[in-house]
Amino acid sequence: MRADAKRIVVRAPNWVGDVVMATPTFRALRENYPDSHLALICKPYVRPILNGAPWFDEVIETQGKSFASFRELTARLRKDRFDLAVLLPNSMRAALEAFCGRVRRRVGYNRRGRGILLTDRIAPPLDDRGRFLPTNMVDYYLTLCMHMGCQNLSQREELYITDACQARADAVLEKYGVDPDIQLIGINPGGAFGSSKLWPANRHSIVADDLADRTTSASCSSARPANGPSWRPSRRAWSTTRSSWSRASWTSIR
């Protein structure tokens, strides 16, 4: 049976890629609670990813890890009197925010000793030795919806494009003389936490060439400025590949 709630707050993941993989969960919540008020708590740097999405009635940005930020958020949750919190991060802080915010029902994974703060403790996937079993994050998040009784779940990830975003993209294509009607595949070689999460530079060229063999697409590379040191070797490698758009520029996530 589907959980009954008129005011729902969703705690978003803290990283861009995880937010994208959470979009099937966001969509499922909206489709299963069409008449409920849905609010999203997120970090300011991931909010642009969801611009134009129709799922939330309200977005609450949480600024940092300070006690002042925690107190401000929990006070707002108490004031807004939410019935249900869906906690996608596994952190103790996310559960404590909902608990101190007096959200009546709190759904999340029972990890990192935070089960006492949850009303609905979802068992995480474990291997035969009782260790956490890494799983597809789309399914990991959707499991929370399944527990709540949501129907017609889909693994399809989804992002929206605003008019302003389209206009910026059109301006970049015009600047570099790229046909706006061509199929364009973007590859971002940057990533947080250094080289442990990055491919070697030449592999991006291999992927671009393979895409060129399979499609009539052009490929481009982009990265945020903080990833500059890791991005530049890839750009040099891409300058030798026949399929790349070697004049790729610095871009934001939108």
Quick: pLDDT tens for 227-244.
555 555 555 555 555 555
Looking at 3.40.50.920, 3.40.30.10, 3.40.50.2000, 3.30.360.10, the CATH number of the domain 7-147 comes to 3.40.50.2000
Q: What is the pLDDT of residue 220?
A: 66
Segments in the chain forming alpha helices (H): 16-21, 23-32, 67-80, 92-100, 137-147, 163-175, 201-214, 228-238
What share of the chain has pLDDT > 70, as a percent? 81
Prediction pTM value: 0.83
Residue 146 identity: M
Of the pLDDT bands very low, low, confident and very high (cuts 50, 70, 90), residue 246 is very low
Kind and range of the H or E run holding 192: none
Backbone angles phi, psi at 85, to 5 degrees: -120, 130
In the chain, list all ranges with CATH 3.40.50.2000. Answer: 7-147
